[in-house]
Amino acid sequence: MRHPEMPQGIFKPKPTAIETKQDATARAARQIIDGEAAVREQKTERLRLARLAVEAMNTNTPPVQKRPVRRKRV
Protein backbone atom coordinates (compact mmCIF):
# COMPACT_ATOMS: atom_id res chain seq x y z
CA MET A 1 0.00 0.00 0.00
CA ARG A 2 1.43 3.36 -1.04
CA HIS A 3 1.33 6.32 1.26
CA PRO A 4 -0.18 9.51 -0.12
CA GLU A 5 2.38 12.18 -0.98
CA MET A 6 2.93 14.76 1.70
CA PRO A 7 2.52 18.40 0.70
CA GLN A 8 5.78 20.23 0.28
CA GLY A 9 6.92 22.35 3.20
CA ILE A 10 5.38 20.40 6.06
CA PHE A 11 8.45 18.39 6.94
CA LYS A 12 11.62 20.07 5.77
CA PRO A 13 14.76 18.00 6.10
CA LYS A 14 17.38 19.71 8.20
CA PRO A 15 20.65 20.09 6.34
CA THR A 16 23.71 18.58 7.91
CA ALA A 17 26.62 20.71 9.06
CA ILE A 18 28.60 19.79 5.96
CA GLU A 19 25.75 20.83 3.66
CA THR A 20 25.34 24.18 5.39
CA LYS A 21 29.09 24.86 5.12
CA GLN A 22 28.97 23.96 1.43
CA ASP A 23 25.96 26.23 0.92
CA ALA A 24 27.71 29.12 2.63
CA THR A 25 30.85 28.57 0.56
CA ALA A 26 28.85 28.35 -2.68
CA ARG A 27 26.90 31.50 -1.80
CA ALA A 28 30.11 33.42 -1.03
CA ALA A 29 31.73 32.19 -4.24
CA ARG A 30 28.69 33.26 -6.29
CA GLN A 31 28.76 36.70 -4.69
CA ILE A 32 32.44 37.14 -5.54
CA ILE A 33 32.01 35.91 -9.11
CA ASP A 34 28.91 38.07 -9.69
CA GLY A 35 30.69 41.12 -8.27
CA GLU A 36 33.69 40.60 -10.53
CA ALA A 37 31.43 40.14 -13.55
CA ALA A 38 29.58 43.39 -12.76
CA VAL A 39 32.85 45.31 -12.45
CA ARG A 40 34.10 43.80 -15.72
CA GLU A 41 30.88 44.76 -17.54
CA GLN A 42 31.06 48.33 -16.22
CA LYS A 43 34.67 48.65 -17.35
CA THR A 44 33.84 47.23 -20.78
CA GLU A 45 30.97 49.69 -21.21
CA ARG A 46 33.14 52.63 -20.11
CA LEU A 47 35.92 51.66 -22.54
CA ARG A 48 33.42 51.14 -25.36
CA LEU A 49 31.97 54.62 -24.85
CA ALA A 50 35.45 56.13 -24.76
CA ARG A 51 36.42 54.34 -27.99
CA LEU A 52 33.25 55.51 -29.74
CA ALA A 53 33.91 59.09 -28.61
CA VAL A 54 37.45 58.99 -30.00
CA GLU A 55 36.24 57.48 -33.28
CA ALA A 56 33.57 60.18 -33.58
CA MET A 57 36.21 62.91 -33.19
CA ASN A 58 38.57 61.32 -35.74
CA THR A 59 36.07 60.95 -38.59
CA ASN A 60 37.02 64.35 -40.08
CA THR A 61 40.70 63.59 -40.55
CA PRO A 62 41.68 61.31 -43.46
CA PRO A 63 43.73 58.26 -42.54
CA VAL A 64 47.47 58.59 -43.01
CA GLN A 65 48.68 56.52 -45.93
CA LYS A 66 52.10 54.96 -45.81
CA ARG A 67 54.45 55.53 -48.69
CA PRO A 68 55.26 52.38 -50.61
CA VAL A 69 58.63 50.89 -49.85
CA ARG A 70 60.91 51.00 -52.87
CA ARG A 71 63.46 48.30 -53.22
CA LYS A 72 66.92 48.99 -54.45
CA ARG A 73 67.90 47.52 -57.77
CA VAL A 74 70.83 45.22 -57.53
Residue pLDDT, tens place only, 45-56: 999 999 999 988
Assessment of whether the complete model's pTM goes beyond 0.95: no
Nearest alpha-carbon partner for 32 in 24, 42, 20, 43: 24
Which residue did the predictor score with more confidence, 55 or 2?
55
pLDDT above 70: residue 1: no
**CA–CA dist 8, 36 (Å, integer):** 36
